[in-house]
Amino acid sequence: MRTRSFIAVAAFLAVLVVLGGVLYAYDHARANEIAPGVKVAGIPLGGLTPADARARLERQILQPLERPIVVHHADKTWKLGPREARLRADLSAMVDEALARSRSGDLFARSWRSLTGKRLDDDLKPTVQYSDAAVIRLIDKVRHSIERPAKDATVKISGAGVSTIPGVEGLAISASQLHRQIGAAITSTTASRTFVAHTRHTQPKVTTADLRRKYDTVIIVNRGQFRLRLFKELKPSQSFGIAVGQVGLETPAGQYTIANKAINPAWHVPNSTWAGKLAGKVIAGDDPSNPIKARWLGIFDGVGIHGTSDDASIGHNASHGCIRMHIPDVEKLYDEVPVGSAVYIA
C-alpha cells in the first residue's frame, strides 16, 4: 500500500512538473508579445512584438504629431514645426510600458488569461514632450503682429483754445485661451492642429467723457489779445475783455488752477515797491481804495482774476500782474468757475 501511495504521489508531482514546464514554455513563448487589450492612446497593440508595436506607434502617433501647429488671423498665418517645438515622442518607453503591463501577474495568471482569451483593459497615455517656451514664442509673434494698445483720449489746452483727441480702442488676442488650445492639441494625434487667433477690443482708460468731467471748466487767458475765454465741458462758453500785467509786472504765463474764491475780498497789499506806503497792509473789501472789486479768483502767488472800477484799463497792459475784468463780467464768471478749475495763461 505504501509503495502504491508513493508511486501515486510521485506520478502526481511528475504531472505537476510537466504541467509547470509546459506553462513556462507557453508563457515564455509569449514573453515578447504584447497582450490583447493593451493600447497606447487608443491604438491597439495586442498580439504585436515590440518592433511591430513601435512601427505602429510611429505611423499612428509620431507621424501625426509631426504636422505643424498653424495659427490663422485674417490673411496672416504663423506655424510652429515639430523641430522648433522640440516635440519628442518616446516610442521605446511606450512599448516597454505596454510590454510590462502585458506581463503583469504571475505565471499561472498570465497563462490562464491567455488560454481563456481574457483581455486586459489598459489604455496607456503616450509619452510625448514639447517645449512650452516655443509655444509661448509663437503666441508672442501672433500678439506682436495683431495687437495694438488702446490710446487714451487727450486734451490740449493752449492760447488757441481747448482741443481733444478721442481715445482709440485697442486690439488684443485671447492669448490664454490660445495657449490652452495649443497645449492640449500639440500632444494629441487626433485633435486639430489649426487654430484661429480670436481677438477682443480693449477700451482706453481715459475717454472723452472722462476729460469732459475732469475739465468741466477751463479758463484761457490770451494776454496778447486781452481776452479771457471760458470753456464748459471742453466747448467755448463765454468770452470777456480783460487787462493784464504791465511791463515789468507781467501776468505769469503757464497752466494753473483756481486756488480760491472770495466775494468782495480784502486786499492784502504785497510787499512790493510799486505798492508804496500801502505795502504789507490789508485793505478791507468795502474800502473805496481797495482795487479788487466785487469778486476774486486766486490763481498763483498773489495773482488772480478780479473786478476793477478802472474800466478804461480793460484791453491794456495795466495791472500789477492780476487779470482785471469789468465788474458785471467778473460776477458772471465767478458763478461759473469752481475752485480747482484749469487756467491757462498764454
- 171 and 152 part of one domain: yes
Question: Would you state the pLDDT for residue 62?
Answer: 86
Asked whether residue 79 is domain-assigned, the answer is: no
Q: 73 catalytic, yes or no?
A: no
Q: Binning pLDDT at 50, 70 and 90, where does residue 105 land?
A: low
Q: What is the pLDDT of residues 169-179, one digit of tens each?
A: 999 999 999 99
d(CA 181, CA 187): 11
- 62 and 42 part of one domain: yes
> Average pLDDT, whole number, for the chain?
88
Question: Would you state the pLDDT for residue 77?
Answer: 97
Q: Binning pLDDT at 50, 70 and 90, where does residue 14 land?
A: low
Q: Binning pLDDT at 50, 70 and 90, where does residue 99 land?
A: confident
- Which of the listed residues 210, 230, 248 is the one where a domain comes to its end? 210
Average pLDDT over residues 297-303: 93
Q: Are 193 and 65 in contact (CB under 8 A)?
A: no
Question: Would you state the pLDDT for residue 107?
Answer: 66
Lowest mean pLDDT among 7-11, 119-123, 157-161, 289-293: 7-11
213-249 residues labelled b (16+ CB within 10 A) or e (exposed): eebbbbbbbbbeebebbbbeebeeeeebebbbbbeeb
- Which of the listed residues 210, 241, 257 is the one where a domain comes to its end? 210
Number of folded domains that form the chain: 3
Domain with 28, as residue range(s), is 2-66+89-128
- 121 and 139 part of one domain: no
- 164 and 274 part of one domain: no
The structure's pTM equals 0.64
Is residue 45 scored above 80 in pLDDT?
yes
Asked whether residue 271 is domain-assigned, the answer is: yes
Question: Would you state the pLDDT for residue 228?
Answer: 98
- 233 and 313 part of one domain: yes
Q: 198 catalytic, yes or no?
A: no
Asked whether residue 243 is domain-assigned, the answer is: yes
Question: Would you state the pLDDT for residue 9?
Answer: 60
- Which of the listed residues 76, 111, 128 is the one where a domain comes to its end? 128
Q: Binning pLDDT at 50, 70 and 90, where does residue 69 land?
A: very high
Q: Binning pLDDT at 50, 70 and 90, where does residue 267 land?
A: confident
Question: Would you state the pLDDT for residue 205?
Answer: 96
Question: Would you state the pLDDT for residue 163?
Answer: 94
- 290 and 186 part of one domain: no
Asked whether residue 75 is domain-assigned, the answer is: no
Question: Would you state the pLDDT for residue 101?
Answer: 82
Q: What is the pLDDT of residues 193-231, one digit of tens each?
A: 999 999 999 999 999 999 999 999 999 999 999 999 999
Please report, for the domain that includes residue 326, its CATH number.
Answer: 2.40.440.10
Is residue 15 scored above 60 in pLDDT?
no
Q: Could you say which of 73, 268, 316, 322 is catalytic? A: 322
- 153 and 199 part of one domain: yes
Asked whether residue 80 is domain-assigned, the answer is: no
Those residues whose C-beta lies under 8 Å from the C-beta of residue 130, and which sit 6 or more positions away, are 85, 86, 87, 88, 186, 187
Q: Beta strand pairing status for 161-165 and 154-158?
A: antiparallel
d(CA 88, CA 141): 23
- 152 and 181 part of one domain: yes
Radius of gyration, CA atoms only, the chain: 46
Q: Binning pLDDT at 50, 70 and 90, where does residue 168 land?
A: very high
Question: Would you state the pLDDT for residue 274?
Answer: 77
345, three cell numbers: 495763461
- 221 and 204 part of one domain: no
Average pLDDT over residues 81-101: 89
Asked whether residue 32 is domain-assigned, the answer is: yes
Q: Could you say which of 73, 201, 306, 320 is catalytic? A: 306
Q: What is the DSSP letter of 61?
A: I
Average pLDDT over residues 71-82: 96
Is residue 289 scored above 90 in pLDDT?
no
- 327 and 221 part of one domain: yes
- 111 and 12 part of one domain: yes
Asked whether residue 334 is domain-assigned, the answer is: yes
Asked whether residue 82 is domain-assigned, the answer is: no
Question: Would you state the pLDDT for residue 334?
Answer: 97
Q: Binning pLDDT at 50, 70 and 90, where does residue 94 land?
A: confident
Lowest mean pLDDT among 10-24, 246-260, 263-277: 10-24
- 341 and 219 part of one domain: yes
Q: Are 334 and 217 in contact (CB under 8 A)?
A: no
